[in-house]
Amino acid sequence: MQAIATKRKTSELLDSYDFVIAGGGTSGLTVADRLTKAFPNKATCLPIPRAETVLVVEYGDVEYAPGVFDPPHVVWGEQPGGLASSWQLHSTPSPMLNNNTAFVIVGQVVGGSSAINGMFFDRGSRFDYDTVTFTPPSDVVASRYNYTWDASVFGNESTPTRPNYHLLVKHQVTRVSYPGGNPKRGPPVVEVRSLENNSTSNVAVKAETILSAGVFGSPAILQRSGRHWAGVFSAKTRHRYIPVILDLPGVGSNLHDHSGPRLEWNSLGDTVEALYLPPEYGSDPSLIAGYRDQLQALADLLANPRAPSIESAFATGTRE
């Protein structure tokens, strides 16, 4: 976070920004990094001749939870205080799943759900990092794929702060509005709410607003901004009436997720292979021998201090 000027109050912000990004997760921070690195040395095709300043608005905070920076110490969130802040969400009953509901964990932290959701953390041994060298690509490859790099950064942990890159934490983007509700009449205004005192403020945007608040957050911003399915938000529903600026039935619909079922069982046998192998395998000595060799190879790998370790670090949620 050394390259970002972190802000906690809207009074610390500039009068306006060229770009405002809603959501400081993986995508939002990556886009902000690319923009602030590219500008102001590049001209744009936007309504402004040059873009210089970027603001990222994040609901959560910068957290140094062990589960974010050293995942192998935290598996499935069992260690108290090991995971960063998150929302615990429950789905409505799904007819396609026998009316069962799903429990989903959503990141509420700088870094987003990538900081807390189910991932395989693959980290090399210290010997791998001690021997790493930087080899730039050939001129042909660099030209073909537009690769750029700064060799002086390699091995240098210090990163200078970019004065054109601001991160506003503990604030929520509530909606995006345009003069008279018409994008053609002027640049957007982003309304943000402070989680500290619930006050709202407007941030002026010169070029574009980028929604990167996740699969749940981005549709919610669109809906609160009047860009939603008119049949959902109306005076006849239990929701507060939100005027329809643009009728978009797809906003907030068609969510797809991948579940991760977990199987648990008790062994009735007294051998290791009884836990995993089908019963018919037990009649073939060669299969048993091969399986034991696989286990021995894995044990040797884990016992080798020069071998990398792969850990299943976090979980997204479980079915209830």
What confidence tens digit (pLDDT) does each residue in 164-214 have? Answer: 899 999 999 999 998 877 777 778 899 999 999 999 999 999 989 999 999
Q: What is the pLDDT at residue 47?
A: 58
> What CATH number belongs to 1-225+258-266+311-320?
3.50.50.60
Instruction: Tell me whether the omega of the peptide bond preceding residue 40 falls within 30 degrees of 0, making it cis.
Output: yes
Average pLDDT over residues 72-95: 67
The number of helices, as runs of H, and strands, as runs of E, in the chain is: 7, 13
Question: Given a cut of 50, is residue 280 above it in pLDDT?
Answer: yes
- Strand partners of residue 100: 94
Proportion of the chain above pLDDT 90, given as a percent: 27
Q: Which secondary-structure segment (H or E) carries 299? A: helix 285-303
| Spatial separation of the C-alpha atoms in residues 247 and 196, rounded to whole Å | 33
More confident residue, 280 or 90: 90
Give the burial class of 52: count Cβ atoms within 10 A of its Cβ; 0-12 exposed, 13-18 middle, 19 or more buried.
Answer: middle
Spatial CB neighbours of 184, under 8 Å, sequence gap ≥ 6: none
- Which tokens is 67 given? 């589960």
Q: What is the pLDDT at residue 22?
A: 98
| Spatial separation of the C-alpha atoms in residues 103 and 86, rounded to whole Å | 12
Task: Pinpoint the alpha helices (H) of 58-158.
Answer: 66-69, 126-130, 139-145
Average pLDDT of the chain?
Answer: 77
More confident residue, 35 or 234: 35
Q: What is the pLDDT at residue 36?
A: 87
Average pLDDT over residues 87-92: 85
Q: Where along the chain do its domains lie? A: 1-225+258-266+311-320, 273-310
Average pLDDT over residues 63-84: 55
84 in Cβ contact with 111 (< 8 Å): yes
301 in Cβ contact with 307 (< 8 Å): yes
For residue 196, count other CB atoms closer than 10 A to its CB: 10
For residue 65, count other CB atoms closer than 10 A to its CB: 16
Average pLDDT over residues 116-136: 69
Lowest mean pLDDT among 81-95, 115-129, 145-159, 288-302: 115-129
- Closest C-alpha among 5, 21, 16 to residue 201: 16
More confident residue, 299 or 222: 222
| Spatial separation of the C-alpha atoms in residues 13 and 165, rounded to whole Å | 11
249 in Cβ contact with 231 (< 8 Å): yes
Average pLDDT over residues 271-300: 71
| Spatial separation of the C-alpha atoms in residues 105 and 84, rounded to whole Å | 11
| Spatial separation of the C-alpha atoms in residues 119 and 128, rounded to whole Å | 21
216 in Cβ contact with 207 (< 8 Å): no
How many angstroms separate the Cα of 257 from the Cα of each of 126, 149, 211, 223? 36, 36, 20, 21
Question: Given a cut of 70, is residue 263 above it in pLDDT?
Answer: no
63 in Cβ contact with 109 (< 8 Å): yes
Question: Given a cut of 50, is residue 292 above it in pLDDT?
Answer: yes
